[in-house]
């Protein structure tokens, strides 16, 4: 399939697909006229890449683990090097910290929304307002 069809089927802009190619994450074949030609399995691969990027993994780490992704949601590592394991452990820790921050922010916003619905957020700051401000500024 050509780049336009892959972009449409995955909801990924062509520019991003070219970026994935530049980073070595996606390797299309080339037709005689130079057009990119993507195999059917590229759809799942692009969705995997997007999911990993959305989770916060940098492309350099994704490039390391992509060969281990045989199915969309399965990682099969048979010969992980100590460096790969260290990288994955660091990324796991970073993702856990990010999740904790997102949960705090979600809870603070939820408290704020509840306070607004109760009619309590007019001019006097309530704890919910302070929690939102702390969450947004990263102090909490």
The tens digit of pLDDT for each residue in 85-106 reads: 888 888 889 889 988 988 999 9
Per-residue pLDDT for 140 more than 50?
Answer: no
**Which burial class, exposed, middle or buried, applies to 117 when counting CB atoms under 10 A from its CB (0-12, 13-18, 19+)?**
exposed
Mean pLDDT of 69-76: 62
Beta strand 36-37 with 69-71 is: unpaired
Between CA 79 and CA 103 the distance in angstroms is 35
Residue 111 three-state SS = helix
The pLDDT value recorded for residue 129 is: 54
CB atoms within 10 A of CB 34: 6
Using alpha carbons only, give the angle 54, 30, 3 rounded to the nearest 5 degrees. 40
| Top CATH class, 1-74 | mainly alpha
Per-residue pLDDT for 43 more than 50?
Answer: yes
Q: What does the DSSP 8-state code read for residue 29?
A: E
The pLDDT value recorded for residue 49 is: 92
Per-residue pLDDT for 82 more than 60?
Answer: yes
Mean pLDDT of 1-14: 95
The pLDDT value recorded for residue 57 is: 86
Per-residue pLDDT for 7 more than 90?
Answer: yes
Beta strand 69-71 with 74-75 is: antiparallel
Residue 74 three-state SS = strand
Between CA 52 and CA 10 the distance in angstroms is 14
pLDDT digits (tens, 9 = 90+) for 112-126: 888 888 876 555 455
């Amino acid at each position: 399939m050509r780049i336009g069809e892959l972009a449409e089927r995955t909801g990924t802009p062509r520019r991003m697909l070219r970026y994935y190619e530049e980073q070595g994450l996606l390797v299309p074949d080339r037709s005689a006229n130079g057009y990119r030609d993507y195999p059917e399995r590229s759809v799942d691969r692009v969705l995997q890449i997007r999911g990993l990027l959305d989770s916060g993994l940098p492309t350099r780490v994704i490039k390391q683990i992509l060969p281990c992704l045989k199915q969309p949601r399965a990682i099969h590592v048979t010969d992980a090097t100590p460096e790969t394991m260290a990288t994955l452990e660091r990324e796991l820790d970073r993702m856990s910290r990010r999740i904790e921050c997102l949960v705090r922010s979600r809870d603070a916003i939820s408290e704020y929304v509840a306070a607004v619905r109760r009619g309590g957020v007019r001019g006097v700051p309530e704890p919910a307002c302070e929690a939102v401000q702390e969450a947004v500024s990263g102090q909490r």
